Amino acid sequence: MYVALQPTPNAPAIALTRAGLVEYEQALALQRKFHQEIVAGLRPNSLIFLEHPSVYTAGKRTQDFEKPNDGTPVIDVDRGGRITWHGPGQLVGYPIIKLARPTELVGFVRTLEGALIELCSDFGIKAERVDGRSGVWIVDEKGARKIAAIGIRVAGGVTMHGFALNVCPDLSPFSQIVPCGIDDAAVTSMALELSREITIDEVAPVLEKYLYQALGKVSA
């Protein structure tokens, strides 16, 4: 499904695709198609929301020891960051955006973090940034737990890849890897933090709102 929304009165429209459950390689091909079209000026800035069947993906900084030790296949991708897992119950967002300031990659990551933190707050979860670590975290007396991972690539001034928010996934696949190369912190989900059932359909519309507000400030 495609939806065109205007994030702020003077910001470019962003085309939203709600794609459902999509194999990772198929979604990557769709990202690349959108990216090429946006670089060429043939398509508006775009945001893809989807879930993936269970899959491990490894960014450019992944070390061999961080990968599964049972021979499970890993897909190498051209994003930043290290290895992570995607699967059902995890809301994945791929903002394919022409940046107003193409060299501000860190600023773009902070923009995504801010939208995810606001989303968590709406559901009563106190999330935050952690210095020196990308993504969104829960930090309290139980320790640090990652609730959302982010990995971005910019080419031709246009972003690719994005974020993965753990809404209600089975977290056990994370035990087979060193998620994002961080071995001294846990992984969590919205369902685990809230101690209740929660669905992608409940979360996605709220996150759309915050992402449109945030992306409208950094897109060209």
- Domain extents for the chain? 2-215
Write out pLDDT tens, residues 47-88: 999 999 999 988 877 877 777 766 677 888 877 677 889 999
**Residue 41 carries which DSSP code?**
T
Catalytic residues: 180
List Cβ neighbours of 150 (8 Å cut-off, separation of 6 or more): 81, 109, 112, 113, 134, 135, 136, 162, 163, 164
What is the pLDDT, as a whole number, of residue 77? 83
Cβ contact 83:74 at 8 Å: yes
First to last CA, the chain: 24
In whole angstroms, what is the distance from residue 163 CA to residue 121 CA? 17
Residue 103 has pLDDT above 80, yes or no: yes
Residue 184 has pLDDT above 80, yes or no: no
For the chain, give the mean pLDDT.
Answer: 88
Residue 203 has pLDDT above 90, yes or no: yes
- Say which CATH architecture domain 2-215 belongs to: 2-Layer Sandwich (3.30)
Write out pLDDT tens, residues 118-170: 999 999 999 999 988 889 999 999 999 999 999 899 999 999 999 999 999 99
Q: Is 37 exposed, middle or buried (0-12, 13-18, 19+ CB in 10 A)?
A: middle
In sequence order, which ranges of 123-215 are alpha helices (DSSP H)? 190-194, 200-215
Residue 2 has pLDDT above 50, yes or no: no
